[in-house]
């Protein structure tokens, strides 16, 4: 892909809000991030959850030029380019990112169009530059994650709080990086965060706009099998075909 862009799975006429989902990737790779990669497919259930939470908003998936972050932070560069060049009518953007996408939405979260950030198992290594994010800001991490480190996520959240930004942080007990063991819980967190950011009311007692140092979600809630979670991803992909595409540099 020569230019970054957005694959829209929903774009109602006159929509001014956009929920933009950024998928994970690799530390170093200039390979093509084709649309059937598991990292991108994993975001489709979150697109379904966002559509239900904000029926008047556009829903889109960020498309990078490369699979990797690379030395230049390519995923964040691509996201900033997209935010700069989106049609002016899309004036308020809520960012949701997983893994490398979580790092990208944090790095680009000070863009004037951004109206909140949700990081799902975000890759926030020690020493990551602090970004002046606007609330709501929420980070969610599984306690069994071996790909990205929950401790560095919580440390970054602590630095944000010290700088005056309220942050909600959740630890999901007995969950790994792919977010498959407790998929319904992740979907609910996404829906609540979208509602909190775009003006709706949350469907549960969790509100993404609160300043919560760490709330740990018990292991016994909303468990599912990996096979069921993978099936849910396939169903979500079929339910939400790509309706239109936006590419930068036009």
Query: Do residues 25 and 69 touch, judged by C-beta distance below 8 A?
Result: yes
The separation between CA 11 and the C-alpha centre of its own chain, rounded to angstroms, equals 18
Backbone conformation region of residue 11, classed left if phi is above 0, alpha if psi is from -120 to 50, else beta? beta
Q: Looking at residue 157, what is its pLDDT?
A: 96
**How do beta strands 137-142 and 168-172 pair?**
parallel
User: CATH: 3.90.550.10, 3.90.1150.10, 3.40.50.460, 3.40.50.1820. Which one for 5-247?
Assistant: 3.40.50.1820
Q: Looking at residue 205, what is its pLDDT?
A: 46
Q: Looking at residue 209, what is its pLDDT?
A: 46
Query: Which residue in the block uniquely carries the two structure tokens 């609910």?
Result: 188
Q: Which residues of the chain have pLDDT under 50?
A: 202-205, 207-209
Q: Looking at residue 219, what is its pLDDT?
A: 61
Q: Where are the domains of the chain?
A: 5-247
Q: Looking at residue 106, what is its pLDDT?
A: 98
**Taking each helix axis from N to C terminus, what angle separates 74-85 and 100-107, rounded to the nearest 10 degrees?**
50
Q: Looking at residue 221, what is its pLDDT?
A: 63
Q: Looking at residue 130, what is its pLDDT?
A: 97
Quote the CA–CA distance of 27 and 21 in Å, as a whole number.
19
Q: Looking at residue 208, what is its pLDDT?
A: 46
**How do beta strands 114-120 and 58-63 pair?**
unpaired
What is the arrangement of strands in the sheet containing 17-22, beginning at the earlier edge strand? 212-217, 168-172, 137-142, 114-120, 92-98, 17-22, 58-63, 5-10, 244-247
Query: What residues contact residue 23 under an 8 Å CB cut-off, 6+ apart?
Result: 37, 39, 40, 42, 43, 61, 62, 97, 98, 99, 100, 101
pLDDT digits (tens, 9 = 90+) for 205-229: 454 445 656 677 766 566 778 899 9
**Taking each helix axis from N to C terminus, what angle separates 226-239 and 44-53, rounded to the nearest 10 degrees?**
60
Count Cβ atoms within 10 A of the Cβ of residue 150 and give its class: 0-12 exposed, 13-18 middle, 19 or more buried. buried
- Strand ranges (DSSP E) for 29-81? 58-63
Count Cβ atoms within 10 A of the Cβ of residue 86 and give its class: 0-12 exposed, 13-18 middle, 19 or more buried. buried
Count Cβ atoms within 10 A of the Cβ of residue 182 and give its class: 0-12 exposed, 13-18 middle, 19 or more buried. buried
């Amino acid at each position: 892909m020569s230019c970054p862009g957005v694959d829209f799975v929903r774009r109602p006429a006159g929509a001014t809000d956009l929920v933009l989902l950024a998928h994970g990737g690799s530390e170093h790779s200039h390979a093509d991030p084709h649309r059937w990669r598991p990292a991108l497919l994993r975001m489709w259930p979150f697109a379904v959850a966002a559509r239900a939470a904000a029926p008047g908003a556009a829903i889109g998936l960020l498309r990078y030029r490369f699979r990797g972050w690379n030395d230049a932070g390519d995923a964040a560069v691509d996201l900033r380019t997209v935010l700069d060049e989106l049609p002016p009518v899309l004036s308020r953007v809520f960012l949701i990112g997983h893994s490398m996408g979580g790092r990208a939405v944090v790095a680009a979260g000070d863009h004037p169009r951004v109206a909140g950030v949700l990081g799902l198992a975000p890759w926030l290594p020690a020493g990551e530059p602090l970004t002046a994010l606007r609330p709501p800001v929420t980070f969610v991490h599984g306690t069994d994650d071996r790909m990205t480190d929950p401790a560095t996520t919580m440390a970054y959240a602590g630095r944000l709080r010290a700088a005056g930004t309220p942050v909600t942080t959740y630890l999901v007990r007995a969950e790994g990086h792919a977010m498959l063991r407790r998929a319904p819980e992740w979907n609910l967190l996404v829906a609540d965060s979208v509602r909190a950011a775009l003006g709706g009311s949350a469907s549960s007692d969790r509100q993404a706009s609160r300043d919560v140092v760490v709330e740990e979600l018990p292991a016994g809630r909303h468990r599912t099998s990996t096979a069921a979670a993978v099936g849910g991803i396939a169903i979500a992909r079929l339910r939400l075909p790509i309706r239109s595409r936006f590419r930068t540099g036009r």
